[in-house]
Chain A
């Protein structure tokens, strides 16, 4: 672990990332504000108000962190004018003050005097005399006020009048300076325009409990990237402690501003107004104490909020003089105004939190929603936007930003609102020194608003359910409410009586990794589970169109298989394997499905090793569980197609690719190259996977050992060389067979359905709507994953890329070129998702992690059983029963018509009757070439040919290619419909009596 005193100050941010965030934010805002149909305009404008605020906050944040490395030049490194060190005391425990005094005395600086600014007497603290004695004991001067006024600022101003050094350092009683404090700060004063130098307000007790922890984590974001960025605009925020001031500058603004409880902030602004300079030194040079109890935290936050809001509402100091001509000599610059505005605005965010939290409540109780949305467009822009935001927060704080600081920042809305109310009514707020000693007790009354919210949500969920039942809006709003609750819960928890962390707990508990025996047992169990499921469920299902084509294709000779596949949209390795497989083991459907099952089972084992190699065995085993429990994977685990083989090879490549930087060797390179060549022959989309790896390599060249570039070039060359013959062959064949269903352009709904399918399998549109409507929960899951950590590992970045890039590329190709987007083609990205989810869960607190793991698998198993048991599951193609029904009831005098024509393959596989089989459009398969396109004009002629001489027509419709309803209508109009029967989703049988005959 890095030293917490340094970690948060390493704030290097990728500028491309910032620009992308700007772009994405604008797109997001544009889409939400202008592209949706407004439903309820009041709610809509509330939402937009909140979003404008968020966008402003985020944009100024991005502006601030754009460059965080600016430091003013040091004119005289030996600058060492006399300094008066003020330690402000107002009733703090003696030992705390003593520690500060001792440390201050040890400061390495030629020329300073220490003063204890004892306000204990005027604040009627019991220990004021003890403090005076303490000063005496350590030989420092105690300045004890006898006339109150101005709180801390008054105390300081009083001391200023009694002292004389040109520079003043201020430490709160608990802030223990490092010996080099003065050395590292004073040198900036060689520039006489510098009025103050501020250093971070580090909390050394951040590991005491959730309150100190969250308080410090909030500080990290502020004192890390934000303060560092502000340096650039000469707008370092004055924080009242751990700082050095120029007496001259201070006297020019009349000392510390006593009229506000945010005396520091205001005084800083006044100095900036007078064109003074400020410097923020990004180095921990003093260490203080965070509030250890909820009440103190609450009060501290309130004081800051009140002070900040006074800046706008009471003193209007940010905007004053904005149109003044004297701006050049007096007044804030535009950038300074912007910086102060953005800082102060943080304390208005409570209002926006309340607005956002109320939107689901408004829905629950009135049904009003801001926008009408039937697509997943909102989610498709919101999720990348929020993830990029989080990534930037993480990167800018060097991965110090956490879920609890996020919770504390968002949940304290009542503090902000209370402060706003006080500021607007100009109510007096007492300056209360933040307690340095934990006040014990239950502060539940401070979080009553948050608790009320939860109660309202529960009531609201029930109410809206009885009003309109399970609708997409119901689920989405419930999910949003849950997200808010998830953010409030840690805050509420913090308000409960806190137990101090024991020393043992403080030691970062290393989560025990699972033993190899345990993982063997679990994996064996998973294999048995998957194999049994295949045996008793999936392998017994009706043959599907794609499968029938696999069987049909592999019934040919190898040369012909090559020819057929070349004209199809696939590559031949799977078909060759299946061909040989069927040679040895027979022709039944079950046998053919067994081949896919074997690759599926092998993948369950392999993903464990990938997860283990990339992270640890815990991540591996849970990824393995996810893969085995996935209804999606189980489906393709028993489908006579190349998909599980594809998954297996991709996992193999993942394993080797991760090894290329973790544990490279010649063998790994050879294996990697070989698998890449083989993979290219399993599915064309393997190329998307290779592209992802290339992208990853170029973004992370540093992690690869030297010479990797050359090896990648050689490997890539070999892969290209290995694949060239196939490309040449396909080119030489020329025509495409067109015996496949046509694809349609995907929508954002398809995008989300793909993700949903990876986890929850194939569901009816209704169930799917429920599942994807819960998308805001993803945000909560990702929020919860924000923990203090080492810089995110390249492995995570890699799996993220290998999940997102292929999906994004194929989606883009489908939109801009031609449709290729099919969830099954993207099946190879699913393992990356499993690994990522598994890893994300492994970073949660153990209790939360257990809950999350169990919960997800429970939902997955539930949806798996839905997929199995629901006859309307969309991917089920029940040709078996449809054919059996026709075989039983159709006579030789009848005629069967199949549409779309290619369903003749599964039909022929099952049909052993003697009725004539035709297709619409008519397809003479003895003539080479594609299926003739549907033509409405020739439909009557073709239908006439079909019905001629027959007494009944059995019209089996499946795989609607866009003309199904036209065919249906034609026959409905011209002949007498006898019966209609549905065998599975999208498969319809209609029997007509052909009266005209």
Chain B
């Protein structure tokens, strides 16, 4: 087993990985930029190394500096987390060349899954259904027109090198095709320096359901079931659950998707943890979308429901150990929900809200897990992703997990900056969400239909009273009513102590 592992990441995921490594009695090395000198991952790790200025292109994305830090601290292996260099095949290859184990798949697997069209080829060759579409990049708008004539509209133009919705256009009719093609290609060129597009049939209001897989370097591979990630905003997941409310009521669906995911991963010679994403249409049929060759943000809900530590398994198989778990050992118990707590203002168009945390109260009690990097007094930097923490809640059933998540969110209080905590409460109270009728357009439609988050009438009176009391306490501290009695009792007690 490794003696020391460097974590090439920051924020909550770096903290998450440190925790498991410490349980495994493996020493940890954190890396940090100027903005992160006092961040939690640096404070928690055994060793730490500065890797550059705040912009990630000068620090967390610098392969040379990360490897220098690993050599200097004599780390045996590197955990890349998610984002940053985690899906960069050159980084995985550079680790290999430096004699440091990359805790993840091979550079070759990452490269093959990185191209959307190559990944589609592999899925098809593995006999896994894909969204009907072109096999290769489009040579011209005429090829897209021919596809539209054959398969009908609406269709979706997507960037071959794409991700995050960039270079993507919905086309509803032949007449829109030409300008959509031009816009998508130029957007893809700007975002990925590659204007190539391919075309797919558009699946209306699909569910986004993904399968967690894990393989060792001896040819063994198992799946850990699904996560439903249909609750998205601007193509980013904000809330996930396990099991999927759809898969939970469809006999055989989990097994079929799990086997399909393993077939795709095997065809890329995959090992370590990975996630195969599917779109599920209204009929319940699933179609391969893409594979993420790393640990996912939302992995904790799978851990809560299956009882396995995915980071520990990643480390074990990266060290060359054989997978001791077999497929029949994986069981799913209860229901888990994750809310991604972001530093953003739901009262102001979800604008980012960096700044100093002036007070932090986190929920505790049964079934509550928080993966976070926030502490009282910490300043949220403007340089990185606004994810503060992931609240993951487990309970025996989906209904009780919803109730428990609502309870936990009511205990959660972050002062000094704005967060999206109340937004989750509104979604969890929504009737359609409670019925489990989810799709990737859910949040957009919810924002249109949601009622204002109106307080019960008595709260306004109480707010007014507290404000007057607070203001009066600052302006003129005189004893005139029952309201301030407790203040004088406190002062009296202080006096006796003196």
Are A and B interaction partners?
Answer: no
- By a beta-carbon cutoff of 8 Å, the part of chain A in contact with chain B is none
- Name B's A-contacting residues (CB within 8 A): none
